[in-house]
Amino acid sequence: MKINKGDIVHLKWTALNGLEGKQVLQDKHPFVILRSNENNIVACVISSVDKVSKYFPYNVPIEDWKDANLTKPSHAKTDRIAKLELDDIYRKIGHLSNNDYINVMTRFNKCPSSDYIMIEMIRR
């Protein structure tokens, strides 16, 4: 499977969100690929919960969510990062529009690394 930046994927594995005390994200929770080269992939979580506010400065609304094959209005959590391998990806479900990808990457690049919350993968 070929994975490109801006692709929206489901994972084979359950993910743990370190912020909420190891809260388990749903299986096949969507992620957007931020960077990809060979087997080194960086992605962030996509959520359908609308919490874009001053309290969540790294959430980016996905304006073209229908065209990206998402089922409801969503945003990318650019401070919730996962380092993936190609084998972690279950399937590609869509792709961000060029404008949405630029908005996500702009916010991701403004996020200090100290604010990143690394998503751990539970490989079964």
**pLDDT tens digits, one per residue of 106-121:** 999 988 776 777 666 5
Domain residues for the domain of 62 are 7-122
- What mean pLDDT comes out for the span 77-93? 88
Question: Residue 106 falls within a domain, yes or no?
Answer: yes
The proportion of the chain whose per-residue pLDDT surpasses 90, expressed as a percent, equals 39
**pLDDT tens digits, one per residue of 29-79:** 799 999 988 778 999 989 886 655 556 788 899 999 999 999 988 999 998
Q: Phi/psi at 18 (nearest 5 deg)? A: -60, -25
Question: What CATH number corresponds to the domain at position 77?
Answer: 2.30.30.110
Q: Which residues contact 114 (CB under 8 A, 6 or more apart)?
A: none
**pLDDT tens digits, one per residue of 64-74:** 999 999 998 89
Question: Residue 54 falls within a domain, yes or no?
Answer: yes
Question: Residue 1 falls within a domain, yes or no?
Answer: no
pLDDT at 51: 53
Question: Residue 32 falls within a domain, yes or no?
Answer: yes
Question: Residue 2 falls within a domain, yes or no?
Answer: no
Q: Are 48 and 72 in contact (CB under 8 A)?
A: yes
Collapse the DSSP code of 82 into the 3-class scheme (helix H, G, I; strand E, B; otherwise coil) and give the result. Answer: strand
Question: Residue 89 falls within a domain, yes or no?
Answer: yes
Q: How many domains is the chain built from?
A: 1
Mean pLDDT computed over every residue of the chain: 81
